[in-house]
Chain A
Amino acid sequence: MLFNSFEFILFFLPLTVVVYFLLLRRHLTIAARSWLLFASLCFYSWWNVRYLPLILGSILFNYTVGGLLAEYDAGVKRGVSKKSIFLCGIVANIALLCWFKYMDFFIGTANGLLGTQLPFLKIVLPLGISFFTITQIAFLVDAYEGLVEERNLLNYALFVTFFPHLLAGPILHHSEMMPQFERLRNKVLNWKNLYLGLTLFFLGLFKKVVLADTFSAWASAGFDTTQPLSLVPAWLTSLSYTFQLYFDFSGYSDMAVGVGWMFNIRLPINFNSPYKATGMIDFWKRWHITLTNFITTYLYTPILRAMGRITFTNSLVAIFLAMLISGFWHGAGWNFIIWGGMHGAGLVVNHAWKKKKYKMPAWLGWLITFNFVNVSFVFFRAKSLAGGGQILAGMAGLNGVVLHKSLEKFSLLRDAGVTFGKWLDAIKGNDETWITAVVALVIVVSLKNSMEIVSRVRASWGWLALLLVASFWSLLDMSKVSEFLYFQF
């Protein structure tokens, strides 16, 4: 089920909230939590019930392995060591992800390298598998290292499946979630949380259906077209996707956090105005924050420790490798590996720069960072390396420059080889395209983000009016079905 669907907003969400708090009012806390679990599983199955056994199997397996690890008594002689139980658990999770996500990539690579003719399996990626696999890997690591204290199957299953975050994050940590399902004061309907949660939800919905979906048309047209794009449409294609991705993913995260608040559950914040970043280190402190934390803790650190000595060079190598893996986690394709590699390289350069104590004016740092990120997202979006190369060639001006007819009178432009005519037709755009891109740039660079806005909300008529406008505008724009970009990862 999608957050931006009428069945979710008008039926599923109100029903889930009302029944949850009715059960709690009668002190049926276990029933209430079971209801939330049941609702989350329905939410997941709405898309394809065939994958319900998969997620349930994954939960039971990891809960069991986690339990074995947490209760492992070194004094008692056993056939298997704690380490082998742990490794089996990790391998099983990675194997599951490989099977559903990477098989065709491996087959394609093998066919290319060895000249074999292995057929593709064409497996459908189960929704959310990348997310529920890595949160559970973190759980196993913590269980192995003795950090798992609370072990209640219902709370565990709810932590993994809780519907606001299930499909695309924020990436949760069991130690910040499981205790919340137990806390007593979380169990009374809180009108303030409900109001703020609704506000955040509709701000996110607005970002998704009004902003992201508008850019989506131009980005898709530009990336899907086979004809070479000239300078301006190539830039507008890449910028459209950069804005679409931010408004889509941060809008989704806002909605997830907002829904969490309605149940008095705090989910971690995932975005903090990333396009205001003045460096790559700064960017990753603001973009997909929960992923950054996960990568730092469970990828970068073990890689660095495995290398033995902690030197500056080793740290940089570890950062690069961690970002490369994170790229591959996003998708099975060389374009994602390049995207990860670019961000790894960007972070390495930024750290080396910082170590030398060089300075740079903030505006220049912003300009470089924003453009670097924008170019990297070309690979993130393109279906193939060649497709990404096409867009970049256009952005570099290799396919020529076509401008609007009204500029034809400037002989300077004509002399420089510029042609005039249907300048944005290739991306199905018009004047609205570049105007919207400029507006979006102003929004992401100078306006407060949704979290900052919500922190100022008071119970006043003005805020209520704003909330109503945002929600009605979004609901009117919701006629078309559009999935969230991060569902494909």
Chain B
Amino acid sequence: MINLEQLEPIFRQVFDDEAISLQRETTSDDIEEWDSLTHMNLVVALELRFKIKFALGELQKLRNVGEMLDLINRKLG
């Protein structure tokens, strides 16, 4: 089971912002740098870090941190 604290460093690195703090409710609207382009960097960073693979149809759902966490844990579990 991974948690928010494990996601945070990845977000800070991808979006180049040390001030990012994540909540389950955080969405792509809350982080200025999070657009369709950086979204892919985030997805790939997550795939490498947790050795998982997202399907194309899942990518739009990953715009919400809570759903992202659940999906990653489902894939790891």
Q: Which residues on A are within 8 Å of B, measured CB to CB? A: 138, 141-142, 145-147, 173, 175, 281, 293, 296-298, 300-302, 304, 310, 315-316, 319, 351, 354
A439 to B40, CA, bound (A): 41
What are 15 A-B pairs with beta-carbon distances under 8 A? A141-B56, A142-B55, A145-B55, A146-B55, A296-B36, A297-B56, A300-B40, A301-B40, A304-B40, A310-B40, A310-B41, A315-B40, A316-B37, A351-B35, A351-B37
| Cβ–Cβ contact B56 & A310, under 8 A | no
A352 to chain B, nearest CB (A): 10
- A173 contacts across to B, CB distance below 8 A: 57
C-beta contact mask, B17-59 vs A, less than 8 Å → 1, else 0? 0000000000000000001110011001000000000011111
A202 to B31, CA, bound (A): 37
| Cβ–Cβ contact B40 & A175, under 8 A | no
A88 to B41, CA, bound (A): 31
A175 to B35, CA, bound (A): 23
Q: A296-B36, A300-B36 are in contact. Are A147 and B58 (CB under 8 A)?
A: yes
A26 to B9, CA, bound (A): 57
Tell me if B6 counts as interface (CB < 8 A to partner A).
no
A142, A315, A316, A354: which contacts B56 (Cβ < 8 A)?
A142
What band does the interface of chain B fall in when counting residues whose beta carbon is under 8 Å from A? Answer: 10 to 19
How many A-B pairs fall under 8 Å by CB?
44
- A319 contacts across to B, CB distance below 8 A: 37
- B57 contacts across to A, CB distance below 8 A: 138, 141-142, 145, 147, 173, 175, 297
| Cβ–Cβ contact A147 & B55, under 8 A | yes
A16 to chain B, nearest CB (A): 31
A351 to B44, CA, bound (A): 19
B77 to chain A, nearest CB (A): 16
A343 to B7, CA, bound (A): 34
Nearest neighbor of B61 in chain A, beta-carbon distance = A175
A270 to chain B, nearest CB (A): 16
- A298 contacts across to B, CB distance below 8 A: 56
| Cβ–Cβ contact B56 & A145, under 8 A | yes
| Cβ–Cβ contact A301 & B56, under 8 A | yes
B35, B37, B44 pick with most chain A CB within 10 angstroms: B37
A323 to chain B, nearest CB (A): 12
B72 to chain A, nearest CB (A): 16
A281, A293, A297, A310: which contacts B44 (Cβ < 8 A)?
A310
- A146 contacts across to B, CB distance below 8 A: 55
B15 to chain A, nearest CB (A): 12
- A147 contacts across to B, CB distance below 8 A: 55, 57-58
A146 to B75, CA, bound (A): 13
A284 to B43, CA, bound (A): 21
Q: Which 7 A-B pairs have the closest CB atoms?
A: A145-B55, A142-B57, A147-B57, A310-B44, A296-B36, A315-B37, A147-B55
| Cβ–Cβ contact A293 & B56, under 8 A | no
Nearest neighbor of B39 in chain A, beta-carbon distance = A296
- B41 contacts across to A, CB distance below 8 A: 310, 315
